[in-house]
């Protein structure tokens, strides 16, 4: 019997499907010696040189038309920040809930998922990873360990401009590890180094004036569990991987 179990274990190990970690999408991110100015204008040479990544995986809602939503983004890094440039085409910009802590996922929001040590795993009520929702007014919200939404405005500075239905959104993201404690101002962001790997996903909550977001679009092709692809707010294993070059 023991031998049978051993053979079964060996066979399952050999023929097991790829784990989530092995399937994760890798994004190479180039270093920048000069930080871009976070003004919502992508005029910096470093942005011209960086490559576009697609923001096209529909996690909630029907596939939107190009005018309803389309998006792409670029990333660069230095020792103190990950810098993001997102280019969003969207027909209606809507901030329905004035309180930043109410229905923050239903209002228009750029959502940045970041897992400092690429550990993956549960982060719903802990800081192994963050799911920062950036509202149109620049306020940054995620669920805290106390199971209540918290503002993390000092973790991300951002600015957007809009022209002819297109939003250009720049953000500078400080990276905090899982030792982050809400309300403890002595905790400093992690210093970034070449070769570091982080878990990362970008997403967009597209509200076009209703009480709920119409679409939720992300950068990662998340495999559905029980028909649900919206797993990133709980499980960091579905994020992609950033490799700092
Ligand atoms: Ca700029
Ligand atoms: Ca839209
Ligand atoms: Ca982590
Ligand atoms: Ca919208």
Task: Report the separation in Å between the CA atom of 219 and the middle of ligand 4, taken as the mean of its atom positions.
Answer: 17
Q: What percent of the chain has pLDDT over 70?
A: 91
Mean pLDDT confidence for 31-43: 98
Mean pLDDT confidence for 60-84: 96
Predicted pLDDT of residue 96: 84
> Could you tell me the domains of the chain?
25-244 (2.60.40.1190)
Predicted pLDDT of residue 3: 53
Mean pLDDT confidence for 209-232: 93
Which protein residues have a CB closer than 5 Å to ligand 1 (ion)?
36-37, 39, 41
Task: Report the separation in Å between the CA atom of 235 and the middle of ligand 2, taken as the mean of its atom positions.
Answer: 26
Q: Give the predicted TM-score (pTM) of the model.
A: 0.90
Which protein residues have a CB closer than 5 Å to ligand 4 (ion)?
90, 92, 206, 208
Predicted pLDDT of residue 53: 97
Predicted pLDDT of residue 14: 46
Rounded alpha-carbon distances, angstroms, from residue 111 to 3, 108, 200, 202, 207: 50, 10, 11, 6, 13
- DSSP code string of 84-139: EEEEEEES------SSTTSSTTTSSEEEEEEETT---SB-TTSSSSEEEEEETT--
């Amino acid at each position: 019997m023991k031998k049978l179990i051993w053979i079964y274990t060996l066979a399952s190990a050999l023929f097991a499907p790829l784990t989530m970690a092995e399937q994760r999408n890798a994004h190479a991110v180039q270093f920048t010696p000069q930080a871009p100015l976070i003004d919502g204008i992508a005029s910096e040479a470093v942005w011209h040189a960086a490559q576009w990544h697609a923001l096209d995986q529909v996690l909630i809602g029907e596939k939107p038309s190009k005018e309803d939503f389309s998006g792409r983004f670029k990333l660069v890094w230095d020792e103190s920040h990950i810098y993001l440039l997102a280019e969003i085409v969207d027909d209606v910009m809507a901030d329905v809930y004035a309180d930043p802590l109410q229905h923050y996922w239903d209002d228009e929001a750029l959502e940045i998922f970041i897992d400092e040590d690429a550990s993956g795993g549960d982060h719903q009520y802990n800081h192994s990873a963050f799911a920062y929702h950036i509202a149109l007014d620049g306020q940054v919200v995620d669920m805290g360990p106390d199971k209540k939404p918290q503002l993390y405005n000092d973790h991300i500075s951002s600015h957007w401009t809009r022209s002819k239905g297109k939003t250009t959104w720049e953000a500078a993201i400080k990276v905090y590890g899982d030792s982050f404690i809400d309300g403890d101002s002595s905790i400093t962001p992690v210093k970034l180094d070449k070769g570091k790997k982080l878990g990362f996903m970008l997403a967009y909550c597209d509200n076009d004036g209703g009480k709920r977001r119409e679409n939720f679009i992300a950068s990662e092709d998340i495999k559905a569990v029980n028909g649900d692809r919206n797993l990133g707010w709980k499980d960091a294993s579905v994020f992609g991987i950033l490799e700092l070059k």
